[in-house]
Amino acid sequence: MSVTAAPRVELDYTGSERLTMNMGPQHPSAHGVFRAILTLEGETVVGVDAVIGYLHRCHEKLAETLTYAQYPSIASKTDYVAAMTSEFAYVRAAEIIGKIDVPKRAQYLRVITSELQRVASHLLWLGTWCLDMGGALGGGATIFLYCIRERELILDLFESLVGARLLYGFYQVGGVRYDIPTGWAAKCLETVDLIDQRINEYERMLEENPFFLVRTQGVGVISRELAQEVGIGGPLLRGSGVAYDIRRGEPYSSYEDFDFRVPVETSGDCLARYRVRMAEFRESLKIVRQVLDGLPEGPISSRPGLKSVAQTRIPKGEAYARVEGARGEVGCYLIADGSAKPYRMKWRGASFSNLAVLPHIIPGHKVADVVAIMGSVDPVFGEVDR
């Protein structure tokens, strides 16, 4: 019996075969529902089609059906990781159109909640991002659990202030809803001091870790020009060398009273965005201390106890109000027609614009870097999809 060798199959492989890979919408690193259709050549990504909209609730249509008193607590459901910010943008837009004054104490309370929110949001970003980059950072979930532990302290503060831990409804047109309870300021100072100290610890853990530097340095570079053209904001914009912060450029809610620095990095990579956010932690904590030091006495709202729909009316007009959120410029373009509900409301979600930069920066990177880049952008899909 003779054995014949199987005919040899010649593979016409040139090394440039393209593979389409689906990532998401239930990918753990997406921190939400995001689908990326990647085109690969080997391990290298050559094309990205970002698919969003899985969490779309049409907030803009919803806002047309709710009064100016009702919507702020819904607004917090756009960016649920930094819920205070979107409420802030909405009530500011209504206040600009209606020329409604906000008492000084309310302005300071808005500042302190915004800054605590920024710290809480950055903590969640740091924890999840390091978790995404995984075991390479020495111990997988260590940083994640540390960050969640600290974020919990801030949520405790919010809980004793508002009664809610995630979605607050703290802002209302003309002021804020609650004043700080007894003992809150002391508790807040204690928390701020603790977090300040812990941040040094994280920095030591990460920046002395060569794996961390390899995963972030020179990865996902956004140029200064691209950053502006796409309209990314916040730590991404400042990580790309644009020294722009709305709190400084167009101060609102008494931000001009506080002394803080706008951290800027020029390299535009994941490490730059990390550095900007780490510096922002400290600046935010600095602002919180200043607010507690100089919190003026007085009313917390210029329109307390609205009883009827007629009282919530805003005169005809339009305004674009923006605030510096944890993820960048959160804007609300509001058109009022004189009734108690807006005629049109447009959210400029910071995450939406930030995410739009991904198709420009991911091609050329390895698949594993996609995760690091996504995490450094820090998208919250409630705000992307609205």
Partner 1 sequence: MTADQARTLIAERFSSAQVDGTAPIVISVPVDAWVPFAHFVRIDLGCRFFSFLTAVDWKEQGLEVVYKADNLDDNVSLLVKTRLGPSVTECPSLTSEYAGANWMERECYDMFGIRFDGHPDLRRILLGNDWVGHPLLKSYAVDTPHPPYR
Q: Which residues bind partner 1 (CB under 8 A)?
A: 52-53, 56, 58, 60-62, 64-65, 225-226, 228-231, 242, 244, 249-250, 320, 329, 331, 333, 335, 343-344, 346, 348, 352-353, 356, 360, 385-386
CB nearer to partner 1: pick between 120 and 345: 345
CB of 122 to partner 1, least distance (A): 22
CB of 54 to partner 1, least distance (A): 9
CB nearer to partner 1: pick between 30 and 242: 242
CB of 88 to partner 1, least distance (A): 17
Dump the DSSP string for 116-168.
HHHHHHHHHHHHHHHHHHGGGGTSTTHHHHHHHHHHHHHHHHHHHHHS-SS--
Q: Which two tokens stand for residue 380?
A: 């919250």
CB of 52 to partner 1, least distance (A): 6
**Do you know the residue count of the chain?**
386
CB nearer to partner 1: pick between 154 and 236: 236
Cβ(342)–Cβ(312) below 8 Å: no
CB nearer to partner 1: pick between 209 and 254: 254
Amino acid code (one letter) for 316: K
CB nearer to partner 1: pick between 101 and 229: 229
CB of 109 to partner 1, least distance (A): 25
Amino acid code (one letter) for 223: S
Residue 136 CB neighbours (<10 A): 14
CB of 25 to partner 1, least distance (A): 12
CB nearer to partner 1: pick between 64 and 159: 64
Cβ(68)–Cβ(340) below 8 Å: yes
CB of 343 to partner 1, least distance (A): 8
CB of 60 to partner 1, least distance (A): 6
Q: Which two tokens stand for residue 187?
A: 């508790």
Cβ(246)–Cβ(260) below 8 Å: no
CB of 352 to partner 1, least distance (A): 7
Look-up: residue for tokens 């995450």? 351
Q: Which two tokens stand for residue 14?
A: 């040139």
According to DSSP, residue 320 is labeled: E
What DSSP element (H or E) covers 92? helix 83-98
Q: Which two tokens stand for residue 276?
A: 């900007």
Q: Which two tokens stand for residue 339?
A: 């009734």
CB nearer to partner 1: pick between 150 and 385: 385
CB nearer to partner 1: pick between 45 and 230: 230
Look-up: residue for tokens 């991002």? 129
Dump the DSSP string for 340-358.
SSEEEEEEE-HHHHHHTTH
First to last CA, the chain: 72
Dump the DSSP string for 247-276.
HHHS--TTGGGS-------SS-SHHHHHHH
Kindly compute the dihedral angle of the four CA atoms of residues 93, 95, 99, 100, in this order, to the nearest 10 degrees: -170
CB nearer to partner 1: pick between 151 and 322: 322
**How far is C-alpha 275 from the geometric centre of its chain's CA atoms?**
16
CB nearer to partner 1: pick between 201 and 225: 225
Q: 111: which residues sit within 8 A by CB, 6+ positions away?
A: 253, 254, 255, 258, 287, 291
CB of 326 to partner 1, least distance (A): 18
